[in-house]
Structure formats: structure tokens, C-alpha cells
Amino acid sequence: MIENEEEIWDLLNKFNVNKLSFTYNRRGKLITEVGAINRFMFSLTYTKFVEHINRVMMIYPKIIEKKSTKEISERIEQYLYRSNFLILLINSLETYLDMVFRWVTKFLFIKDLNKKNFIKFIKTFRIRDNFFNKLIEKDNLNIVLTEILNERMDFQNRDKSRVAYNLININLPGLYEDYWHNIFDNEPTSYMQARHRIIHNVMPVIENIESECSVNFVERALLDIVNYVFFIEEKRLELYPDPIEVEFFKEIETELSKPEDQRRPFEDLINNITEKLKIEKIEDLEDI
């Protein structure tokens, strides 16, 4: 058990999950959130994941707050903070998996997919009608995969996650087996099952409230999920790099080939890339 916010952030930084600064502006009933991120070489999907983890971490000081008494109300309050921490963490993972899959499928045609994996995919997600309707409409297999997807893919489901990512040549269980089991197993100790218990069951009896979804449990869940997403992001980068990432690494290679005293500052590299891709700010990457 860590129970130290600074130490947690030091561990998260190893996976390029940096602490962001947020400001909130109120104008009438409208509240806008403004943040800054100091990483540029990662995709929009990973950037969004970092933002989501920052929101999860806003709860962390509350779950490690020391209470002087053992009042029932305080114990329940602590449990609710830990529970919400885990729920938001799982949602961050699901959102990342969904965003990556949808981004990749924009560039994949059904005619180029592994037939066996595709058949399993449309059966698992019950989208055979979507596929055949689109097939009748186009009269060929030049169908972009994203055109037949459902609005919700349910990447909290172990089998659906595995089948979907097999289709895009990413073996989720094989990336890091321990993290896969810790997150997705059907055992009561997995993070996904703990999340389902919180959502669908009544609150645990007071005697068990410290052990159910403990501080140690949610800390391990945080680090395991961030580590696992980092592995997925590395594989995604290898197979399906963003244009911004391709340009970034080209620029880096060019600079490293120069004598050290002739290399440009990092800020100049960024400015050059944004000029090439006509990007004014990081939010504009969403449409690339």
C-alpha cells in the first residue's frame, strides 16, 4: 500500500501519465474545463486516457485521508470514495479501448480482414444484420469496418474485448497475461468483477467495508490498468501510427543524425511538425 499522492504520480509518470493542471471557468450555468498536457508524441487516444486518469486521481487524496474516528458514516464515506475511484478507472480503460478500436477501424476494409476472425466478430457483437445490409447497399466487400459497428461496443466485457482486438491483430491477453487476468478475470478478485459488484450489489456489511475495495486494491488497479494501457499503446503505435507520430519520429531521427551542437530545441521540433500538418493546437488532432 502506497497511500502517498506524490509517489503515485512518480509511478504514473513512468508510463507518460503526467499530472495536468485544470482550471474551471463559469459563465452563467455553463462550466468549461481547461487543461494543459506536456506530452506531444502520443496519439489523441492516449492523451484522452491521460486526461481521464487525472480526473480519477482527483479522488485519490480523499481515499487516503486519515480519519481520527471509526464512525460508521466516515467508513461509508471512505468506501464510496474508493468505489467511485474504481468505477471511473474502469470507465477510463473502456473509453480508451473503444477509442483505439474505432480509430483503427476507420482504415480497415472488410475484404482485407481475416475471414475466421471477422465471422467470430460479427457473431459476438451481433452485427450480422449491419454487415449484410451494408453488403446489399454496396454490392461488394469494399466496406470500411467502422461502418457496421454498433454505437456501444462494451469493452468491459472480456470476450468482446478479446474478439474485437484479435480482428485488428492485437492479442490483448498475450500483451501481458498477468494484467489481463487482474483486470478481466471472472474471479471475484478481478477489477472488472469488483466494479460490477459495486454497481449491481448493495453496499457491503459494515464489518467488511474496509476489506471490500480497499485502498491497496484500488492502488493496484490504477497501476495495473495504466501499465496495461501503455502496452496496448505501444502495440497500436507499432501497427497503426497516427500521422502526427510518424512526423514526430521522422523529425527526431533527422535531429539525432546531426552533431549535438546543431540540433534544434524540442520546441522547434514541435512547431515544425504542427506547421507541416497544419495543426494549431493539440485539440485539432482529433480529425487526423
Q: Are residues 209 and 268 in the same domain?
A: no
Lowest mean pLDDT: which of 86-90, 215-219, 277-281?
A: 277-281
Q: Are residues 189 and 277 in the same domain?
A: no
Most confident of 33-42, 70-79, 180-189: 180-189
Tens digits of residue pLDDT in 46-80: 889 999 999 999 999 999 987 656 788 888 888 89
Of 285 and 23, more confident: 23
Is 94 domain-assigned? yes
- Whether 285 shows a pLDDT value over 50: the answer reads no
> pLDDT > 90: what percent of the chain?
56
Q: Are residues 233 and 253 in the same domain?
A: no
Report, as an integer, the average pLDDT of 203-221.
77
CA 17 to chain centre: 11
Handedness of CA 150, 155, 156, 158 (dihedral sign): positive
Is 130 domain-assigned? no
Is 167 domain-assigned? no
Structural domain boundaries, residue 253: 242-288
Tens digits of residue pLDDT in 213-232: 889 999 999 999 999 999 99
Q: Are residues 235 and 268 in the same domain?
A: no
Q: Are residues 214 and 271 in the same domain?
A: no
Q: Are residues 274 and 190 in the same domain?
A: no
Q: Looking at residue 288, what is its pLDDT?
A: 32
Q: Are residues 230 and 268 in the same domain?
A: no
Q: Looking at residue 35, what is its pLDDT?
A: 55
Is 136 domain-assigned? no
DSSP assignment of the chain: ----HHHHHHHHHTTT-PPPEEEEEEETTEEEEEEE----SS-HHHHHHHHHHHHHHTSHHHHTPPPSS--HHHHHHHHHHHHHHHHHHHHHHHHHHHHHHHHHHTT-BGGGS-HHHHHHHHHHTT-HHHHHHHHHHHSSS--BGGGG--S---TTSHHHHHHHHHHTT--HHHH-HHHHHHHH-SSTTSHHHHHHHHHHSPPPPGGGTTTTT-HHHHHHHHHHHHHHHHHHHHHHHHHS--HHHHHHHHHHHHHHTS-GGGPPPHHHHHHHHHHHTT-SSGGGGGG-
Are the beta carbons of 126 and 160 closer than 8 angstroms?
A: no
Is 159 domain-assigned? no
- Whether 81 shows a pLDDT value over 50: the answer reads yes
Q: Are residues 78 and 12 in the same domain?
A: yes
Q: Which of 202, 219, 240 is the last residue of a domain?
A: 240
Q: Are residues 273 and 233 in the same domain?
A: no
Report, as an integer, the average pLDDT of 128-154.
93
Q: Which of 200, 215, 240 is the last residue of a domain?
A: 240
Q: Are residues 283 and 251 in the same domain?
A: yes
Number of domains in the chain: 2
Q: Looking at residue 228, what is its pLDDT?
A: 98
Q: Are residues 190 and 249 in the same domain?
A: no
Is 156 domain-assigned? no
Q: Which of 224, 240, 256 is the last residue of a domain?
A: 240
Average pLDDT, the chain: 84
Is 206 domain-assigned? yes
Q: Looking at residue 279, what is its pLDDT?
A: 45
Is 165 domain-assigned? no
Q: Are residues 272 and 191 in the same domain?
A: no
